[in-house]
Amino acid sequence: MDAIDVIRTKRDGGELTDEQVRWFIASYTAGTVADEQAASLLMAIFFRGMSPAELTCWTAAMIESGERLDLSAVGRATVDKHSTGGVGDKVSLVLVPLVAACGAAVPQLSGRGLGHTGGTLDKMESIPGWHADLGPEQMIAVLRDVGGVIAAAGPGLAPADRKLYALRDVTGTVESIPLIASSIMSKKIAEGTDALVLDVKFGSGAFLPDPRDGRLLAETMVELGEAHGVRTTALLTAMNTVLGRAAGNALEVAEAVETLAGAGPADLVEVTVALAREMVALAGVDGDDPADVLASGRALPVWRAMVAAQGGDPDAPLPRAAEIEYVRAPAAGTVQRLDARAVGVAAWRLGAGRARKEDAVSPRAGVVCRAKAGERVAAGDVLLELHVDDPARMPAALAALDGAFEVADRAVAPEPLVLDRVEGTR
């Protein structure tokens, strides 16, 4: 095999053979194919796309580049969830203990935030003492004892994806449906879960604003999951405004705990319950409706046990920002819109997010939405709270919110949150 021949095949619109794909992934992972050659192939894929057969083989090769976890010792059906990311998306924090309380085991391997979208691990690390790194044996033990775990993916899972993701990030090839799908699914399949539910978000605050792109990504990932023996479905959910009211690490943890206690925001509850119902159905678990389990507070003890199992103190006070600034309604009326991306960028600029993977994040920084689309306000009412440690960050955050909301004296039709469902054909 020769890297130049592989690049030329794809550059000229040809279909890579299984042998070419497996050789390229193995050689790049081993370091015998150079970054510039891999970048050339990624760019060719960006423009030429991949056939279903190519993509299935590409994903399989990425899985085979490392280990595949064996969760058979857990003793329960396993089911995981993956979200493509949004603003205020603390669903995993509620969903993992909820589905565990319903009887399944949830091995949630999560990531960190980048740009305007938050990361589940960053949120969890705002809990004093909690740590994300668990070995396979530790993870299985927590799953067996508690039923749910939120942890970082170890270096042995799909190491090819680790290298390719970093390269995509610096070569302008992130926004490729085949490359996004293979990156997500290689890690989730290697994780060893029996079933997987995907939360594919679209709208102003999503990675993919266009719902057509969201549907294509959902269909592609469901096909990959089914092709690799993982029962997979996807929900397409809206991300035009913040999910819940908080965007920021400790702020989102606090809201998640409120939700687990049965007092969460209606939109967060709706999306979480929809995903939980999908998960327990795929796992084949019979029992109470997840909506009833969540409303009753029965998932809260599972959350507490999960936090404690990873060194955290569920009773410890969460970090609080040094300063809070308020954005107020300019007039009386109904909030017409509150743009999710603008709020996410503001939270990022306040310190809740990172521009580069190696950047530190503040557990205290973020935005709380006191009024959202469809809610009435009086002139001078607080629309947004901006939480910050470093006051020098405030002007840039306020600039991000310029034009992000509108207040007028007219009604607003509620936006549906769950737009569609995609299931496998096998």
Residues that are catalytic: 82, 161, 168, 183, 187
- All residues at 6 or more sequence positions from 16 whose CB lies less than 8 Å from its CB, including other chains: 6, 9, 10, 24, 50, 54, 57, 58
One-letter amino acid for residue 340 of the chain: A
Of 417, 425, 99, the closest CA to residue 235 belongs to 417
Token pair for residue 36? 């510039």
Give the list of residues 6+ apart from residue 45 with CB closer than 8 angstroms, or none.
Answer: 10, 173, 176, 178, 179
The two most distant CA atoms of the chain are separated, in Å, by 69
Q: Which helix (H) or strand (E) holds 376?
A: strand 376-377
* Residues pairing with 382 in the sheet: 328
Contact indicator for 350, 388 with CB cutoff of 8 Å: yes
Given a contact cutoff of 8 angstroms between Cβ atoms, the answer to whether 256 and 263 are in contact is no
Cα gap 54→221, rounded to integer Å: 14
In the structure encoding, which two tokens stand for residue 300, read together? Answer: 């809260």
Q: How many Cα atoms sit within 13 Å of 283 on the Cβ side?
A: 27
